Amino acid sequence: MQKISVAHIQNKKVKQEKITMLTAYDYPMGVLLDKAGVDMVLVGDSVANVVLGLESTTEVGMFEMLHHAKAVRRGVKEALLIGDMPYESYQTATQDAVANAKRFVDEAGCDAVKLEWFDRCIEVAADIVQAGIPVMGHVGLTPQTAEQLGGFKVQGKDADSAKIIIGNAKALEEAGCFSIVLECVPDKIAQLITKQLSIPTIGIGAGLYCDGQVLVTHDLLGLFDRFRPKFSKQYVDLGAAVVDGVKNFCQEVRQGKFPDEVHSYSIKQEELSKINGGDLV
Ligand code: KIV
């Protein structure tokens, strides 16, 4: 077993090997993603939507994120583990942002943190990097501030807005970010950014030309159907498998078929006869 490092991820770009990243929010998923050989596991603030049933990622804070990150850490032994900094944990005084980033490392055992673009992003990212914590940037559609971007839609569709995203990505590289998520941008813009940056780009709704790809695991597995963005691909329908399994359980219980002998414990007749004369009622 070899723990994946930031240098290993960056080297993949040099070797032109695609990078994989998926989200996890609990121990069993951490174990399974590691077993499947995912390079990076993100404890995403998408936990708000796909696990906690909330409307917005802005509804989770440090408490929830650390709680879930600790659980994932117990399961992930090889992949690089990244904690997603929640809304308002870094859009704050820079020293508080650094302190919150440190909590992801010290308390939850994360290897890195991710933060979404905002107006003071460069300064905050640079200070967290200075504190010795690897930072992943996130540009394009940034869900925590989606309302300011006109909602959940593709960003950078015209030259002016695309130039801003390209500039932000470059600035994050200069600030010391080790990698950057490109969310919901046209594939050609993502290709341009990927070519111009020396750090790996990880796309979600950003086309084929990024250095790597990330999806929300619950979308990939068919465990979340409240909404399904165009970019997310469902590889398996675990939701249907769960409903089938649960229906079978209910049916067998109602029919008196479960638990059968195989799933029950027995006691020797001689011992049983010492209790209540062996009468069962
Ligand atoms: O929280 C999340 O799941 C994310 C990914 C979509 C990149 O930020």
Q: Crossing angle for the helix pair 121-130 and 94-106, nearest 10 degrees?
A: 50
The pLDDT, as a whole number, for residue 247 is 98
Q: Is 51 left (phi over 0), alpha (psi -120 to 50) or beta?
A: alpha
* Distance between first and last Cα of the chain: 56
- Split at pLDDT 50, 70, 90, the class of 209 is very high
The pLDDT, as a whole number, for residue 228 is 87
Ligand 1 centroid vs 116 CA: distance in angstroms?
10
Give me the mean pLDDT over the 123-139 stretch. 98
Arithmetic mean of pLDDT over the chain: 96
Of all residues in the chain, the percent with pLDDT exceeding 70 is 99
The pLDDT, as a whole number, for residue 281 is 62
> Which position has the higher pLDDT, 212 or 2?
212
pTM: 0.96
- Among 21, 40, 181, the mutation site with the greatest number of ligand 1 atoms within 8 A of its Cβ is 181
- Split at pLDDT 50, 70, 90, the class of 151 is confident
The pLDDT, as a whole number, for residue 107 is 98
> Which position has the higher pLDDT, 149 or 40?
40
CB within 8 Å of 94: residues ≥ 6 apart: 120, 123, 124, 127
Ligand 1 centroid vs 173 CA: distance in angstroms?
19
Omega before 143 within 30 of 0, i.e. cis = no
Lowest mean pLDDT among 130-144, 171-185, 241-255, 266-280: 266-280
- Split at pLDDT 50, 70, 90, the class of 203 is very high
Give me the mean pLDDT over the 108-115 stretch. 98
The correct answer on CATH 3.20.20.60 for the domain covering 6-236 is: yes
The pLDDT, as a whole number, for residue 180 is 98
Domain boundaries defined on the chain: 6-236, 241-278
pLDDT at 276 over 90: no
pLDDT at 5 over 70: yes
Give me the mean pLDDT over the 238-260 stretch. 98
User: Using an 8 Å Cβ cutoff, are 190 and 141 in contact?
Assistant: no
pLDDT at 278 over 80: no
How confident is the model over 10-52, as pLDDT tens digits? Answer: 999 999 999 999 999 999 999 999 999 999 999 999 999 999 9
Catalytic residue among 183, 252, 261, 270: 183
Is any ligand 1 atom within 6 A of the Cβ of residue 219?
A: no
Ligand 1 centroid vs 95 CA: distance in angstroms?
24
CB within 8 Å of 17: residues ≥ 6 apart: none
- The answer to whether residue 183 is catalytic is yes
The pLDDT, as a whole number, for residue 60 is 98
Give me the mean pLDDT over the 136-142 stretch. 97
Smallest Cα–Cα separation from 116: which of 24, 60, 176, 180?
A: 180
Beta bridge mates, 43: 83
Question: For atom 4 of ligand 1, which residue has the closest CA?
Answer: 44
Q: Is 278 left (phi over 0), alpha (psi -120 to 50) or beta?
A: left
